């Protein structure tokens, strides 16, 4: 099958891509300690995958409060900024583009991770199911503290400062993480947001924080270098909404006039319930580039672009196991098998030791 569409160039706002095979954000929990600092091993990992049309980094803490998983990187200290600068330089040297995913986990954290042992924050004091991944191992999630109305501005500021820091680190743009059950998604969905102020209740109110964060980040970067990631049907991290189509149609309609680089939509993820949901309605409401994510292969991605159901496709797990994924797609080569046991934490094993086609043939 021809992959002419998948390997055609495109501009995502002000970010020009050589082709449309995008590396999705992938948490790998391998930053240097103490300090959650990107290190040489991370430089090698991203440089290996720099044949991607665009790399979206692993989710990155916008602040100490935004941290939810052990060993994940941040973008709130000078050491972290310099660690990321080594990565952006390496990716640019290979001719690719890279954007930083900005992340506040909200309630998906634990007091063992938070500064001074404070409780994680959330829109409402509702505990998720499951356990937090901490430096002390897995601990049961706690009931978070509901943010006060006068604290919301500080959340917006955390994202804005992280965007400033990302610019200093040499990125080509940033992605606002409003998906997969983290803080902005918690505000969006009524299963986790039971507030009665201007950030709760109606769809318009629940969308407010995501829109304010996106606007603040766009002030730093210019809207054409900002993407937003959403997961309308995602149930990961104990998420639910009573009217997801209406909610995300509204959010998309509000994001569209901002002239963003792209809207990154998680269409399939662990536990997603897509029954009765139309991603085509999201696509039709967004004037900019639509990026699809979730379970795509080369042929299905090509078909989706040909059918105009998406503009670009991001690939997650295949990029972990195949550092040269675009070339494998082009050649129709077999893909390496993913080692699930080495996804989170550890060293080079299952991180930078997956073979490329050049390695295999030499």
Provide the pairing of β-strand 131-134 with 137-140: antiparallel
Contact (CB, 8 A) for 144 and 127: yes
Catalytic-role residue among 45, 46, 69, 182: 182
Segment holding 227, helix H or strand E: strand 226-230
Closest CA to 57 of 34, 87, 32, 77: 87
3-state secondary structure 242-293: CCHHHHHHHHHHHHHHHCCCEEEEECCCCCCCCCCCCHHHHHHHCCCEEEEE
- C-alpha span between 330 and 347 (Å, rounded): 30
Main-chain dihedrals φ then ψ at residue 169, nearest 5 degrees: -80, 0
Dihedral angle computed from the Cα positions of residues 285, 290, 81 and 319, in that order, rounded to the nearest 10 degrees = 150
182 catalytic per annotation: yes
Asked if 254 contacts 206 with a C-beta cutoff of 8 angstroms, the reply is no
CA distances from 352 to 36, 118, 347 (A): 19, 35, 8
Rounded Cα distance between 263 and 19, Å, is 17
Q: CA angle at residue 128 from 181 to 152, to 5 degrees?
A: 60
Catalytic residues: 182
């Amino acid at each position: 099958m021809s992959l002419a569409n998948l390997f055609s160039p495109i501009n995502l706002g002000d970010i020009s891509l050589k082709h449309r095979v995008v590396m999705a954000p992938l948490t790998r929990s391998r930053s240097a300690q103490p300090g959650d600092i990107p290190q040489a091993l991370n430089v090698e990992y991203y440089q290996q995958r720099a044949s991607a049309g665009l790399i979206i980094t692993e989710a990155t803490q916008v602040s100490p409060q935004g941290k939810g998983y052990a060993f994940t990187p941040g973008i709130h200290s000078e050491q972290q900024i310099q660690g990321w600068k080594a990565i952006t330089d390496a990716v640019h040297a290979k001719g690719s583009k890279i954007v930083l995913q900005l992340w506040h986990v909200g309630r998906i954290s634990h007091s063992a991770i938070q500064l001074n042992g404070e409780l994680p924050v959330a829109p409402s004091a509702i505990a998720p199911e499951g356990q937090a991944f901490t430096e002390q191992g897995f601990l049961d999630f706690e009931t978070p503290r509901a943010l006060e109305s006068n604290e919301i501005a500080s959340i917006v500021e955390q994202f804005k400062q992280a965007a400033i820091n990302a610019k200093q680190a040499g990125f080509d743009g940033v992605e606002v993480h409003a998906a997969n059950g983290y803080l902005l998604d918690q505000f969006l969905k009524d299963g986790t947001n039971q507030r009665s102020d201007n950030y709760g209740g109606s769809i318009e109110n629940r969308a407010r924080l995501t829109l304010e964060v996106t606007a603040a980040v766009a002030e730093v970067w210019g809207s054409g270098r900002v993407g937003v990631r959403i997961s309308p049907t995602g149930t990961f991290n104990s998420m639910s909404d009573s009217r997801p189509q209406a909610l995300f149609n509204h959010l998309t309609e509000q994001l569209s006039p901002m002239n963003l680089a792209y809207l990154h939509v998680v269409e399939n993820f662990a536990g997603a319930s897509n029954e009765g949901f139309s991603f085509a309605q999201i696509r039709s409401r967004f004037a900019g580039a639509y990026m699809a994510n979730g379970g795509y292969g080369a042929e299905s991605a090509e078909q989706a672009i040909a059918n105009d159901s998406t503009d670009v496709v991001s690939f997650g797990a295949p990029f972990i196991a195949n550092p040269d994924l675009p070339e494998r797609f082009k050649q129709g080569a077999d893909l390496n098998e993913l080692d699930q046991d080495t996804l989170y934490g550890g060293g080079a094993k299952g991180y930078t030791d997956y073979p490329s086609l050049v390695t295999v043939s030499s």
